[in-house]
Amino acid sequence: MNIYACYICKYSIKIYMQEDMVMNYGWLSLLPPIVAVVMAIRSRNVILSLFCGGFVGTMIFCMGNPFLAVKSMIGDYFFVQLMDSYNAGVIVLVIFIGGFIKLMEKSGGAQAFSKFVYRFVNTKLKAQMCAWAGGILIFFSDLGTPLLVGPVFRPLFDKLKISREKLAWILDSTSSPVAILVPFIGWGVYIMGLIQEQFKVLGVTESDYTTFVEAIPFQIYAILAILMIPLIAFTGKDFSQMRKAEKRAEEEECAREESEEAAEKESGPYSIQNARPSMVLIPIITVFVTLFVTLAPLGFPFQKVDGNEFRVALTMGYFFGALILMLLIRVYKVQMFKKTFKIYVDGMKGMTDVAVPLVLAWSLGNMIDGLGTADFIINAMKTIHFAPALIPAFIFLFGTFVSFSTGSSWGTFAIMMPLAIPMAHAFSIPYAIAVGAVLSGGLFGDHCSPISDTTILSSTGAQCNLVEHVKTQLPYAVVNGVIAFLAYLLAGVTKSPYAVVLAVAALLCVVFVWNKKESVGR
Bond prior to 301 in cis (omega within 30° of 0): yes
Q: How far is CA 278 from CA 175, 207, 283, 332, in A?
A: 22, 35, 8, 10
pLDDT of residue 219: 95
- Amino acid letter, residue 457: L
Supply the DSSP symbol for 495: -
- Mean pLDDT is highest, among 113-117, 475-479, 510-514, for 475-479
Mean pLDDT, range 102-126, rounded to an integer: 78
d(CA 473, CA 454): 13
317, with CB counted inside 10 A (0-12, 13-18, 19+), is buried
At 256 the pLDDT is: 44
Average pLDDT score over the chain? 81
Would you state the pLDDT for residue 414? 84
pTM, rounded to two decimals: 0.71
Range with the lowest mean pLDDT among 341-350, 422-431, 447-456?
Answer: 447-456
Paired residues of 271 in beta bridges: 265
Give the confidence band of 402 by pLDDT, cuts at 50, 70, 90. Answer: confident
Q: For residue 340, what pLDDT is reported? A: 92
CA dist 56 and 28 (Å) reads 10
The mean pLDDT of 166-191, rounded to a whole number, is: 88
pLDDT for 130-173, tens place per residue? 889 888 887 766 666 786 677 778 877 887 888 899 999 999 99
The whole-angstrom distance between residue 508's C-alpha and the CA centroid of its chain comes to: 25
Residue 451 pLDDT: 65
Q: Above pLDDT 70, what percent of the chain?
A: 85
- Least Cα distance to 195 among 425, 421, 374, 438 occurs for 421
Average pLDDT in the 81-106 region?
A: 84
Are 455 and 470 contacting, i.e. CB atoms less than 8 angstroms apart?
A: yes
- pLDDT attached to residue 265: 46
Q: Which of 356, 378, 383 is closest to 368 using CA atoms?
A: 378
Q: What angle do CA 329, 331, 336 make, to 5 degrees?
A: 55
d(CA 363, CA 72): 11
pLDDT of residue 263: 45
pLDDT at 267: 46
Mean pLDDT within 40-47? 74
Which range among 306-315, 341-350, 363-372, 449-458 has the greatest average pLDDT?
341-350
Mean pLDDT for 276-283 is: 85
Question: What digits encode the pLDDT tens for the residues 217-252?
Answer: 999 999 999 999 999 988 888 888 888 888 888 876
Is residue 279's pLDDT more than 90? Answer: no
The rounded distance, in Å, linking the Cα atoms of 286 and 21 is: 52
Which residues are 265's β-sheet partners?
271
Q: How many CB atoms lie within 10 A of CB 114?
A: 24
- Nearest C-alpha neighbor of 478 from the set 514, 444, 451: 444
Is the per-residue pLDDT at 96 higher than 50?
Answer: yes
pLDDT of residue 488: 95
Give the pLDDT of residue 406: 66
Q: Is the pLDDT of residue 14 over 70?
A: no
Mean pLDDT of 385-392: 84
When pLDDT is cut at 50, 70 and 90, the band that residue 302 belongs to is low
Nearest in space to 50 (alpha carbons), one of 364, 372, 356: 364
Reference 395, options 376, 371, 422; nearest CA is 422
pLDDT of residue 396: 94
Tell me, what's the pLDDT at 405? Answer: 67
**Is residue 347 predicted with pLDDT exceeding 80?**
yes
pLDDT of residue 268: 53
**Most confident of the following: 33-42, 53-62, 460-469, 512-521:** 53-62
Rounded Cα distance between 114 and 9, Å, is 61
Rounded to 5 degrees, φ, ψ at 428 are: 55, 40
| Residues near 431 by beta carbon (within 8 Å), at least 6 away in sequence | 195, 206, 211, 214, 215, 421, 424, 425
Give residue 144's pLDDT: 64
